[in-house]
Amino acid sequence: MSFFVHPMGICESESVGDGTRIWAFAHVLPGAVIGADCNVNDHVFVENDVIIGDRVTLKSGVQVWDGVRLADDVFVGPNVTFTNDPFPRSKQYPESFATTVVGRGASLGGGAVILPGVRIGRGAMVGAGAVVTKDVPANAVVVGNPARIKGYVHEPVADDAIPVPSSATHEVALVGGARLLPVTVAQDLRGSLAALELGRDIPFAPARFFAVFGVPSKDVRGEHAHRRCEQMLVCLAGSVRCIVDDGSRRQEVLLNRPGLGLYMPAMTWGTQFDYSPDAVLGVFASLPYDGADYIRDYDEFLVLASAAGV
């Protein structure tokens, strides 16, 4: 065999990749497909209708039931619980089990519970003990019961990348051509005023403006890229955290005053989260609304960004 099975382990499947290791008291049923260089620890059970990619780690006490799909490089911590039937009854089986997908490079912390049919995006991090009841976006960090987004995974950036300061009076370069830009603010006893000269202070000619407000702090907006449209974001009140992602690097910025704008060129994956209760986010866009301009699937964005050489 090109893979290893401990003398006290049972592997009935013939679809196991090179270099995979199946340890004591683990049991793999005949229909399971397991990729190369995986590590299946003690006391793991893998059912029939299961597909596991390459370099996946299953720590002790994990049961992978029918309908579960684990992409390459997934880490499943000890005693993670997958489920596949939303209304389980003893000796009563559904026509088909729900399909649960864990994207490439995602990690599931020890004791997490994954409900049937959810999709966990690539690179996501599920905290220990979290109960995942809804889809998790790519690169999101979720914790709690029910699991909520608390942040996003930040991949290392180039050594010469300029750190994002807490305040800026000049342009600050971010990944993928995104930039922090100063916005003129005037203050006196009568109040405050933020002003943008449309032909000077915004890197494009705006064709549309909209405002986002009343967002519960637990919710996330954005989570898409535009094929052609450019945007500039200004937080007019309160605060909001923004992710800019060019497909290979990712940075987070805090917009917490009207004197700071975030320019996002086309083909930048953007996410906004952690809205304060009073947040009002103003957005200038270079094009009128066009649903076809949106890229809402992160994996599709990665393919298109790579093809475009972003």
pLDDT confidence of residue 162:
41
pLDDT confidence of residue 200:
82
Measuring CA to CA, which residue among 137, 88, 143, 69 is closest to residue 113? Answer: 143
Alpha helical stretches, state H, the chain: 298-308
pTM value is 0.83
Give me the residues paired with residue 64 across strands. 46
- Domain extent listing, the chain: 1-153, 172-308
Encode the chain (310 residues) as per-residue pLDDT tens digits: 699 999 999 999 999 999 999 999 999 999 999 999 999 999 999 999 999 999 999 999 999 999 999 999 999 999 999 999 999 999 998 888 999 999 999 999 999 999 999 999 999 999 999 999 999 999 999 999 999 998 888 654 444 444 444 445 567 888 889 998 888 887 777 888 888 888 788 899 999 999 999 988 777 888 899 999 999 999 999 999 999 999 888 888 899 988 889 999 999 999 999 999 999 999 999 999 999 999 999 999 999 998 876 5
pLDDT confidence of residue 169:
59
Which overall architecture, per CATH, does domain 1-153 show? 3 Solenoid (2.160)
Residues in the chain: 310
Same fold, 1-153 and 172-308: no
Alpha-carbon distance of 76 to 63, in angstroms, equals: 10
pLDDT confidence of residue 160:
44
Report the top-level CATH class of 172-308.
Answer: mainly beta
Phi, psi (5° rounding) for residue 307? -65, -35
Alpha-carbon distance of 268 to 310, in angstroms, equals: 9
Q: How many helices (H) and strands (E) does the chain have?
A: 1, 34
CB 140 within 8 A of CB 159: no
Using CB atoms within 10 Å of the CB of residue 128, give its burial: 0 to 12 exposed, 13 to 18 middle, 19+ buried: middle
Amino acid at 159: D
Which residues are catalytic, by number? Answer: 224
